[in-house]
Structure 1
């Protein structure tokens, strides 16, 4: 790594693989600032670190135990890293009130993460989870 932006991109890749894909709590604690803010958290939900790990380890992973993260592109400038990725897996557990269907789920995501001192401090994102949920309900 020869620059801060390369280092920050590596931190975001590590978070995606170790935290989102593998559910590694130790990595989460190493990479997440105590004052982290998720600007994309649903209204009324926890927008701090606990809300973020809850989403991965209590909503997505139980619904898709074979969850995989595929990173397509990353662009970094200063302390911001934008990642276009896909979260996929087989719907073998309940997902937000929808019983397992056995179908393959594919959620497209674009995230912007602010990284300071090697930790996530802010997050903004959009994803296709609402569309996926609507399709599973049919």
Structure 2
């Protein structure tokens, strides 16, 4: 930045950074309220989600399905954003989801169990909306809290169960559980 430009040269990006950060916080607050419609409102209509549930529709329709599954499994969860970093185009959020499970999760009956589930989400932003999303979730840690020993490739999504050959074994016997690897 040249000396004669002063700080005004960075204001547009600074404003975008603040707005993008707020959009992501609004997204997670909507999830905490159980508000799928509010969470969807933070996404552009033609958004790309790299972490869709198997068999989900593309775009926002598929995202609505995925969010509904998450909220069905954890209807009263808290979504605590531990840290968030934003620039004019990207936001990365590290968070912890805590709550009581109310469904079968990844093939494991989990009703009534309290869990802590760690996530890192990356969002690409445009015009104040999320246009692309990717995430790393500690699904293995979640399964361990539910009593499963998980080995091998990473397990499948929340609603899709565990795909075949994933190495899921019963915690009580150490045997591969065909019901969980179908």
Smaller-chain TM-score bracket: 0.7 to 0.9
> Which of 27, 30, 52 lines up with 2:63 in the alignment?
52
- Unpaired segments of 5 or more residues in structure 2? 1-13, 149-170, 172-182
> Which of 106, 109, 122 lines up with 2:116 in the alignment?
106
Q: Distance in 2 between matches of 1:74 and 1:132?
A: 22
Q: Post-superposition shift, 1:10?
A: 0.3
Residue 17 (str. 1) matches residue 23 (str. 2):
no
- Unpaired segments of 5 or more residues in structure 1? none
Gap change, CA 1:43 and 1:91, over 3 Å in 2? closer
74-83 vs 41-50, which moves further: 41-50
Counterparts of residues 47-86 of structure 1 (less than 5 Å): 47-57=58-68, 59-86=69-96
Contact 1:39 1:47 in 2 (8 A): no
- So what's the TM-score if we normalise by structure 2? 0.65
Instruction: Work out which of the two has the higher radius of gyration on C-alpha atoms and give 1 or 2.
Output: 2
Contact 2:27 2:39 in 1 (8 A): yes
Higher RCO (Cα < 8 Å, 6 or more apart): 1
- So what's the TM-score if we normalise by structure 1? 0.84
Q: Distance in 2 between matches of 1:92 and 1:43?
A: 20
> Which of 125, 133, 139 lines up with 1:123 in the alignment?
133
1:89-125 alpha-carbon deviations (Å, 9 max, x no partner): 1123322332234221111111110121121100111
Q: CA RMSD in A?
A: 2.1
Match of 1:4 in 2: 16
Q: Post-superposition shift, 1:134?
A: 4.3
Contact 2:26 2:39 in 1 (8 A): no
Gap change, CA 1:46 and 1:129, over 3 Å in 2? farther
106-115 vs 93-102, which moves further: 93-102
Gap change, CA 1:128 and 1:118, over 3 Å in 2? same
